[in-house]
Amino acid sequence: MELSICQLLFYILAALAILCAFAVVSFRNPVSSAMGMALCFALTAAILFGMGAQFLGIVQLIVYAGAILVLFLFVVMMLDIKDEERKTNGRCNAIAGAIVAGMLAGIIASIAIGLPGATDNPCPAKALCNSFGDLAIGQPATPATDSATPASTCSTCPAAVTPGAPLPGPETYGGPLPKIDPVASDNDTKLIGATLFSQYNIQFVILAFALLSGTVGAVALARKIRKD
Amino acid sequence: MIPLAHYLIFSGILFAIGVAGVIVRRNIIVVLMCLEMMLSAANVSLVAFSRAQGTDGIPVYDAQILALFVVGIAAAEVAIGLALIVALFRARKTVESTALTTLKD
């Protein structure tokens, strides 16, 4: 299986991002950790670009690598924190963390590899619907006539036929992602905005209120309390 | 094209490293950084699923909206968390999580 430049970039970026995430955990100086976090977020944004989610990639760069990082650095500078000194039980703690994280990563990887339709279907939910066709996932009980054609009862992905998608080889797991439509990719921001301001308008307003109350709460928490 | 599972494994590894950081580190600021890393790992898997569920090359935008909401909530959470850390530092002169044993004693 030959690697295209796109795939090669994904694997390189993913490896670098994981390396930076590891640096965040292992550096003892909080400023170094913050820099590692910035790199990790920038690489994650690059991976989002590669997935065709340009708007989310830009948001990731601006909000995470920009605003949140500056906030962290500001607080680190303000509090004048020294490096963590090593304690006697540090090694034991690190081993416990490594074991828990390794188990979690192993569970997630095994679930991802064992996705239904791993070898023959680009859409996992479609395969689920096929294997439980008579249950009609996500829909009220339908007459028995529908169960004869289980593929049509799937509401999650009604038309799973993706013309541009190449056939997955036997060594690929979970099915390759379908090729993105260039028109949809160009209008990514437009389509997200259309969805956000029509279907999710109320949730967006609630999010705005959450941000406002968060800001007010942060100011109220961080202000100096006068003792008089 | 890259299979969905590789994106999910990448996001899982990033999430697991974040969990390890939360367990291992004692500096509360770094713990908060690891929490942010876990949220951004979840975003990656959301966007990967939005691509995998899409039809005719158009991704499912509901998942990307959810990822956008996650980013917004993460920003609010960081503001509150850092304000709490500043208040904690004013009261205790430390940001070590092992130093907070008032409820234990």
CATH number for the region A1-81 comes to 1.20.120.1200
Locate the chain B residue with the closest alpha carbon to A17.
B14
Task: Give tens-digit pLDDT for B35-72.
Answer: 999 999 999 999 988 888 777 778 888 999 999 999 99
> Residue A157 and residue B17: Cβ atoms within 8 Å?
no
> Residue B33 and residue A37: Cβ atoms within 8 Å?
yes
Look at residue A210 in the predicted model and tell me its pLDDT: 93
> Residue B34 and residue A25: Cβ atoms within 8 Å?
yes
Look at residue A165 in the predicted model and tell me its pLDDT: 47
Place of tokens 């004693």: B105
Give the 3-state secondary structure percentages of chain B, helix then strand then coil, rounded to 5.
75, 5, 20
Which residue did the predictor score with more confidence, A42 or A167? A42
Locate the chain A residue with the closest alpha carbon to B61.
A192
How many Cβ pairs within 8 Å bridge chains A and B?
285
Locate the chain B residue with the closest alpha carbon to A53.
B47
Contacts by residues A187-190 (CB-CB < 8 Å, ≥ 24 positions apart): A188/A52, A188/A53, A188/A54, A188/A55, A189/A54, A189/A55
Give yes or no for a contact between A181 and B78, defined as CB atoms under 8 angstroms apart: no
By three-state DSSP, how is residue A82 classified? coil
Q: Taking the alpha carbons of A75, A69, A197, A204 in that order, is the dihedral positive or negative?
A: negative
Segment of A155-164, A178-187, B13-22 carrying the highest mean pLDDT: B13-22
Domain boundaries, chain B: 4-99
pLDDT band at A208 (very low <50, low <70, confident <90, very high): very high
> Residue B71 and residue A162: Cβ atoms within 8 Å?
no
Domain boundaries, chain A: 1-81, 91-180, 187-222
Architecture of the domain whose range is B4-99: Orthogonal Bundle (1.10)
Contacting A residues, span 120-159, partner chain B, CB-CB under 8 Å: 122-125, 156-159
Give yes or no for a contact between B83 and A209, defined as CB atoms under 8 angstroms apart: no
A197 touches chain B (CB under 8 A): no
Give yes or no for a contact between B76 and A68, defined as CB atoms under 8 angstroms apart: no
Nearest to A30 by CA among B84, B20, B29: B29
The complex scores an ipTM of 0.92
pLDDT band at A45 (very low <50, low <70, confident <90, very high): very high
Give yes or no for a contact between B57 and B48, defined as CB atoms under 8 angstroms apart: no
Of A114-118, A133-137, A201-205, A214-218, which range is least confident?
A133-137
First to last CA, chain A: 74
